[in-house]
Amino acid sequence: MHLLAGRLKHYDWGSTTALADLRCIEPSGRPEAELWFDSDDLPYLVKVLAVQRTISLQAHPGAEQAHRGFAAEETAGLPINHPDRSFVDDRAKPELVCAVTPFEALCGFRPVGEAVEVAAALGLPDDMVAVLDGGPGAWPSLVAGALSGRWDNAIDTLVEQCAAGLNGPLDDTTDLVARLADQHPGDPALLVVPLLTHHRLQPGEALYVGPGVLHAYVAGMAVEVMAPGDNVLRGGLTTKHINIPALVEALVPAVGPPPVQAPAADTTDLHRYDVPVDDFATWRLAGTAIDVDERIGPDLVLAMAGTTTVGDLTLGPGQAVLIPEADGPYTVNTDGLTWMATVGAT
């Protein structure tokens, strides 16, 4: 086994202090958005996210779209690091996001009836709301129309109403729209925001985000475990490349908001999150020790609070260790919080 050096990613939505505070080091002075733990020996990727400004409204493609999109951009000769590139590999990107601090996320469409009521209360255009007469299957059409500017004349009215507040059950929604409008003035994606499910995860709670689920992470720190694909199809709330046709194609309209997962009373010290894929499995350890005897691939242990020992290695917050399958059984002991990623079939 050996320590993994986390790779720091500087994106404009990142916190300037959270990841440095986690690791007890001096901040760099730049936004520090993600700390990546990856290796050619790992079939998955683990990140720590520190979100200060909203990450883009986005979805990830399924395997078939990823394969087709990657092949098309390769054929077109678009360099892999070109800013207008949407498909940097031919893999899907299912992911699990686990809150370390209170974590705010938009994820999945509201039920249609609820979305219609919210849209009416906020005064969204009648012809926009009428799109949902087609039921859940109409979500891609609504998203395509909103992001492509069909109802841009309604953005200012929505923002003004949300800034004023409604003094009722939609206060949380209006506050969110007003905050995002400050970050991204005039962005057409603001029209979609109130129609998505707004999650406020508490530490330890998690969301599984499969391909085709529209989402945006708003604020907080989280551990993210995912398949190693890195295709992001953005629709707004970003300064990066937007690809509305590919995003709309990726959407899975019949999929509602994912359920919030939380450790049960009998799994508060050791909890495995539920993911419907074999790419990875994710465990949360809180003040406990476990013996890992059965191995079918490489494991990664990431310490996030307190002191964690893995075999003869001692980890502090923000440090991770890779344990190859050939190393055999090992023991993890933590007096704080630790996440463990394994190959999913274990």
Query: Could you tell me how many residues make up the chain?
Result: 346
Answer yes or no: do 72 and 208 share one domain. yes
pTM to 2 decimal places = 0.95
Answer yes or no: do 199 and 323 share one domain. no
Answer yes or no: do 327 and 205 share one domain. no
What CATH number did the domain enclosing 316 receive? Answer: 2.60.120.10
**Segment holding 203, helix H or strand E:** none
Pairing, β 281-286 against β 103-109: unpaired
| Residue after which a domain boundary falls, among 255, 277, 297 | 255
Residues spanned by the domain of 315: 269-342
Answer yes or no: do 192 and 240 share one domain. yes
CA distance 145 to 154: 12
Per-residue pLDDT at 256: 77
| Residue after which a domain boundary falls, among 255, 287, 311 | 255
Query: What residues of the chain score a pLDDT lower than 50?
Result: none
Answer yes or no: do 96 and 186 share one domain. yes
Per-residue pLDDT at 282: 97
pLDDT tens, 46-101?
A: 999 999 999 999 999 999 999 999 999 999 999 999 999 999 999 999 999 999 99
DSSP assignment of 73-136 equals: HHHTT--TT-TT-S-SSS----EEEEESS-EEEEEEEPPHHHHHHHHHHTT--HHHHHGGGG-G
Residue 1 counted as domain residue: no
Per-residue pLDDT at 123: 93
Q: How many CB atoms lie within 10 A of CB 89?
A: 15
Per-residue pLDDT at 253: 83
Q: How many domains does the chain have?
A: 2
Answer yes or no: do 84 and 192 share one domain. yes
Answer yes or no: do 158 and 248 share one domain. yes
Residue 8 counted as domain residue: no
With H, G, I as helix, E, B as strand and everything else as coil, classify residue 186: coil
CA distance 214 to 255: 10
Q: How many CB atoms lie within 10 A of CB 264?
A: 8
What CATH number did the domain enclosing 66 receive? Answer: 2.60.120
Residue 278 counted as domain residue: yes
Answer yes or no: do 229 and 274 share one domain. no
| Residue after which a domain boundary falls, among 255, 288, 323 | 255
Per-residue pLDDT at 264: 86
Residue 247 counted as domain residue: yes
Answer yes or no: do 60 and 206 share one domain. yes
Per-residue pLDDT at 254: 73
Half-sphere exposure of 284 (CA within 13 A, CB side): 28
Answer yes or no: do 317 and 212 share one domain. no
Residue 6 counted as domain residue: no
Answer yes or no: do 143 and 288 share one domain. no
Residue 47 counted as domain residue: no
Residue 42 counted as domain residue: no
Per-residue pLDDT at 298: 96
**117 to each of 121, 167, 180, how far by Cα in Å?**
6, 16, 21
pLDDT tens, 113-140?
A: 999 999 999 999 999 999 999 999 999 9
Per-residue pLDDT at 197: 96
Per-residue pLDDT at 268: 84
Residue 111 counted as domain residue: yes
Answer yes or no: do 77 and 162 share one domain. yes
CA distance 137 to 251: 10
Tokens 């009648």 appear where?
Answer: 126
| Lookup: tokens for 141 | 């059409």
